[in-house]
Amino acid sequence: MREEAIRVWAFALRNLLMASRNIFFLFELTFWPMVGVLSIGLMTRFLRLSPDEASFVLIGTMALSTVQVCQLDVSYAVLYDVWSKSMKHQFLAPIAVRHLTVGSWLVGMARGLVVFTLLAALAWWAFGFNPLATGPGRLALFLLGCFLTAWIVGVLVCALVMLFGTRAEASAWAAVNLVLVLAGIYYPISVLPGPVAGIAQAIPLTYFLDMFRSHFGFASEFATPLAWGFGLSAAYIGFSHWALGAAINRTRRTGLLLRMSE
């Protein structure tokens, strides 16, 4: 158990050190999320949306940034090694997929929390929207839902990178946007066309957004959103980790693991 924790901590600390030494990561954490909240918030004023409607859209914007920052950290678990061509060293060590993903997810959650706090303060100051009004329990569940979604997407991105190498790098930035569009980031999923709405119902974040927004005056579209959200998350976490494990095994078969280290 102790060794498990040490290996997880190894990846967490590595991500933390890398993030602390790169100015780009600071932009990732502050600039883009704040620009997002400011521009969307100003748009809600221009369109004269009601406070409830404005909060609906702002929750989506904040979720987008929180999930994105956390997911990127999970994806960096593999991307750092691809970029530095050091992939083979970590897979030469007796590690499992869970050490890699949990370690980077812990840092992702910490960074996601920083982003959410910044955006909440900004939204409250600039637009009078207080996401803390739901109470700590509901907020914590919403954030946990965001982080779980980020974990799943991040691990799937890692699997894609292991399968296709640097060609799949773009998925680290693209995948989460697709998921958020489907999960009803700025709209209820009932406005999506039939089959797409069906896909949206298979995304855990859909349910966590629904649960959180129900506190701001929007009737919930689902009877038990939390049960669905956590149930789907558990299934996808299992699947994504299996997929990453299978992708790593494939790289050992095809030699991609070595080619990514040259």
Q: Can you give the binding site for other proteins, defined by CB under 8 A?
A: 2-3, 6-7, 9-10, 13-14, 17-18, 21-22, 80-81, 83-86, 88-95, 99, 249, 252-255, 257-258, 261-262
- Find out whether 33 and 58 touch, Cβ atoms under 8 Å: no
Determine whether 67 is exposed, middle or buried from the number of CB atoms within 10 Å of its CB (0-12, 13-18, 19+). Answer: buried
Closest Cα partner for 188 from 154, 156, 211?
211
- Residue 58 or 257 with smaller CB distance to other proteins: 257
Count, residues in the chain: 262
- Residue 45 or 259 with smaller CB distance to other proteins: 259
- Residue 54 or 102 with smaller CB distance to other proteins: 102
> Smallest distance from the beta carbon of 58 to other proteins, in angstroms?
35
The one-letter code for the residue type at 259 is R
> Smallest distance from the beta carbon of 104 to other proteins, in angstroms?
13
- Residue 4 or 52 with smaller CB distance to other proteins: 4
- Residue 39 or 249 with smaller CB distance to other proteins: 249
- Residue 67 or 74 with smaller CB distance to other proteins: 74
- Residue 13 or 227 with smaller CB distance to other proteins: 13
Token pair in block for residue 144: 């946990």
Token pair in block for residue 134: 């739901």
> Smallest distance from the beta carbon of 172 to other proteins, in angstroms?
17
> Smallest distance from the beta carbon of 22 to other proteins, in angstroms?
7
Residues 6+ apart with CB under 8 A from 48: none
Q: Output the DSSP codes for 211-228.
A: HHHGGGT---SSSSHHHH
Q: How far apart are CA 147 and CA 125, in angstroms?
A: 25
> Smallest distance from the beta carbon of 260 to other proteins, in angstroms?
11
> Smallest distance from the beta carbon of 254 to other proteins, in angstroms?
7
Closest Cα partner for 67 from 213, 204, 248?
204
Cα angle 121, 16, 153 (rounded to 5 degrees) comes to 75
Q: How far is CA 1 from CA 61, 77, 95, 106, in A?
A: 39, 21, 13, 17
> Smallest distance from the beta carbon of 4 to other proteins, in angstroms?
9
